[in-house]
């Protein structure tokens, strides 16, 4: 009898402890969310997250047998088969290679360190692609990179490169609070670390670049970062290859982004694709239909979304069909993202934004290209997953 009473007491104590812990976790998460939403950044995030999937028609069921290959998989990809026309250097495409260099108002030593990385990147580009195909290179820069510096560094680069310098001057969106402390606004420390320069870069590549006069008339551009290293021969005119096959987007690899700089991003795209008034670039299809065709995964449950790392094209290497991004459908989506100001409030990156835009707008199986045969380095080395044959 005493043994039974003891067991009951122990079980009651365990049950009480578990209940207390559950209540504590619930209250703690509630308080953390209250703290998060009590700032200006938190209130903007709350606006983005106000969404109930039940208010929209259900999405069509995806068809797993038609799903593209898992982009995070390290399995071998099918070989890339090229023709003689893909490797000839005559009749070039109306295209360019694009860089935004990191030369800022700061000590010259720091700028020089980054320019030496750019110097190495340009020599590798020359050896592995440009010497064979000779496309113009557009170097976008801020005012600190004066003509004097342009001449100085140009002497270090391969003479055969056709380089054009383009000045860009960034400004804050007029809807973002001016002259306020970033901690007071509630910006995450990761965002504050390089604010607003990094945010300007994101905004430039996600939206502004497509209206730049040097870009708007192109058919394609290949964006590389100043420290993007092509470490093996490309072996093919990537622009001619993509144009001949009607490809709209090319990338090197897919990875995941950090959750704390993508708060609300998945909710935004889930809401956007469920709205039947939003159409993709596939004839007769909504964004919802196209995203399901591409098996684009966004958890429906809010808690699950908070624990899910969004996917992103590692778009320090990306090849873009300019008319596609200047289309009415893509502009509508781009403007909707821009209207949230979350590029500045939460540092939504152009990499995950590009991934979800592509997967809602294009047929990944037929219009998107993984350049898997190139050995590529940006912060880490990506080994080839296929061959060029």
Question: Per-residue pLDDT averaged across 140-165, rounded?
Answer: 98
Q: Do 239 and 131 share a domain, yes or no?
A: yes
Answer whether residue 263 is part of any domain: yes
Q: Do 95 and 238 share a domain, yes or no?
A: yes
Does 27 have pLDDT greater than 70?
no
Contact 312, 253 (CB under 8 A): no
Who's near 337: CB < 8 A, 6+ residues apart? 206, 207, 268, 343, 348, 353
Q: Do 234 and 255 share a domain, yes or no?
A: no
DSSP per-residue letters across 91-120: S--SEEEEEE----SS-HHHHHHHHHHHHH
Q: Which of 29-33, 128-132, 272-276 has the lowest mean pLDDT?
A: 29-33
Q: Do 220 and 339 share a domain, yes or no?
A: no
Written as six digits, the tokens of 16 are 């009480």
Q: Do 220 and 350 share a domain, yes or no?
A: no
Answer whether residue 134 is part of any domain: yes
Confidence category of residue 3, pLDDT binned at 50, 70, 90: low
Q: Spell out where the chain has E strands.
A: 95-100, 137-141, 163-167, 220-224, 229-230, 249-251, 254-256, 311-313, 317-321, 368-370, 376-378, 380-382
Cα dist from 284 to 219, 276, 280, 366, 381, whole Å: 24, 11, 8, 17, 40
CA distance 333 to 354: 11
CA distance 354 to 257: 12
Q: Kindly state the percentage of the chain with pLDDT values over 70.
A: 91
Q: Do 94 and 234 share a domain, yes or no?
A: yes
Contact 94, 218 (CB under 8 A): yes
Answer whether residue 299 is part of any domain: yes
Q: Which of 7-11, 208-212, 335-339 has the lowest mean pLDDT?
A: 7-11
Tell me the CATH number at 374.
3.90.550.10
Written as six digits, the tokens of 47 are 């606006």
Q: Do 95 and 147 share a domain, yes or no?
A: yes
Range of the domain at 303: 250-286+294-313+322-388
Contact 337, 44 (CB under 8 A): no
Answer whether residue 122 is part of any domain: yes
Does 283 have pLDDT greater than 60?
yes
CA distance 170 to 177: 16
Contact 341, 304 (CB under 8 A): no
Q: Do 237 and 330 share a domain, yes or no?
A: no
Answer whether residue 82 is part of any domain: no
Answer whether residue 341 is part of any domain: yes
Contact 96, 136 (CB under 8 A): yes
Of the two residues 251 and 13, the one the predictor is more confident about is 251
Q: Do 255 and 361 share a domain, yes or no?
A: yes
Domain count, the chain: 2
Determine if the pTM surpasses 0.85: yes
Burial bucket for residue 306 (CB in 10 Å: 0-12, 13-18, 19+) = middle
Contact 328, 334 (CB under 8 A): no
Answer whether residue 72 is part of any domain: no
CA distance 273 to 45: 19
Q: Which of 4-8, 101-105, 199-203, 253-257 has the lowest mean pLDDT?
A: 4-8
Confidence category of residue 26, pLDDT binned at 50, 70, 90: very low
Burial bucket for residue 24 (CB in 10 Å: 0-12, 13-18, 19+) = exposed
Confidence category of residue 66, pLDDT binned at 50, 70, 90: confident
Contact 344, 173 (CB under 8 A): yes
Query: Phi first, then psi: what are they for 377, rounded to 5°?
Result: -125, 125
The sign of the CA dihedral 367, 370, 374, 380 is: positive
Q: Do 113 and 227 share a domain, yes or no?
A: yes
Q: Do 234 and 303 share a domain, yes or no?
A: no
Answer whether residue 57 is part of any domain: no
Q: Do 164 and 224 share a domain, yes or no?
A: yes
- Neighbour-count burial for 347-365, b at 16+ CB within 10 Å, e otherwise: bbbbbbbbbbbbbbbbbbe
Confidence category of residue 31, pLDDT binned at 50, 70, 90: very low
């Amino acid at each position: 009898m005493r043994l039974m009473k003891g067991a009951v007491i122990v079980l009651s104590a365990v049950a009480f402890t578990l209940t207390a812990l559950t209540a504590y976790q619930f209250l703690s998460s509630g308080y953390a969310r209250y703290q998060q939403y009590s700032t200006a950044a938190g209130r903007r995030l709350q606006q983005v997250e106000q969404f109930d999937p039940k208010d929209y028609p259900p999405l069509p069921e995806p068809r797993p047998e038609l799903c593209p290959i898992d982009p995070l998989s390290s399995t071998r990809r099918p070989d890339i088969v090229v023709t003689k026309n893909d490797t000839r250097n005559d009749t070039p495409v109306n295209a360019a290679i694009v860089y935004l260099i990191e030369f800022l108002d700061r000590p010259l030593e720091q700028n020089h360190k980054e320019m030496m990385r750019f110097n190495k990147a340009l020599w590798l580009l020359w050896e592995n692609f440009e010497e064979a195909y000779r496309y113009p290179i557009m170097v976008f820069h801020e005012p600190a990179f004066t003509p004097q510096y342009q001449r100085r560094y140009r002497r270090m680069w391969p003479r055969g490169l056709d380089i054009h310098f383009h000045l860009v001057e960034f400004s804050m969106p007029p809807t973002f609070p001016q002259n306020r402390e970033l901690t007071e606004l509630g910006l995450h420390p990761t965002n504050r670390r390089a604010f607003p320069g990094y945010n300007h870069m994101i905004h430039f590549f996600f939206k502004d670049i497509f209206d730049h006069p040097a870009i708007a008339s192109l058919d394609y551009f290949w964006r590389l970062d100043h420290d993007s290293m092509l470490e093996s021969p490309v072996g093919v005119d990537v622009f001619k290859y993509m144009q001949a096959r009607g490809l709209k987007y090319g990338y090197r690899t897919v990875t995941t982004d950090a959750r704390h700089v993508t708060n609300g991003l998945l909710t935004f795209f889930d809401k956007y694709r469920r709205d039947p008034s939003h159409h993709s670039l596939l004839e007769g299809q909504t964004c919802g239909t196209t995203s399901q065709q591409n098996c684009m995964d966004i958890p429906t449950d809010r808690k699950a979304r908070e624990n899910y790392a969004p996917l992103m094209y590692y778009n320090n290497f990306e090849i873009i069909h300019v008319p596609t991004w200047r289309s009415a459908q893509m502009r509508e989506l781009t403007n909707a993202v821009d209207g949230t100001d979350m590029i500045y409030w939460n540092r939504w990156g152009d990499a995950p934004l590009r991934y979800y835009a592509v997967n809602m707008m294009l047929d990944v199986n037929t219009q998107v290209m993984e350049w898997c045969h190139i050995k590529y380095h940006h912060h880490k080395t990506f080994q080839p997953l296929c061959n060029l044959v």
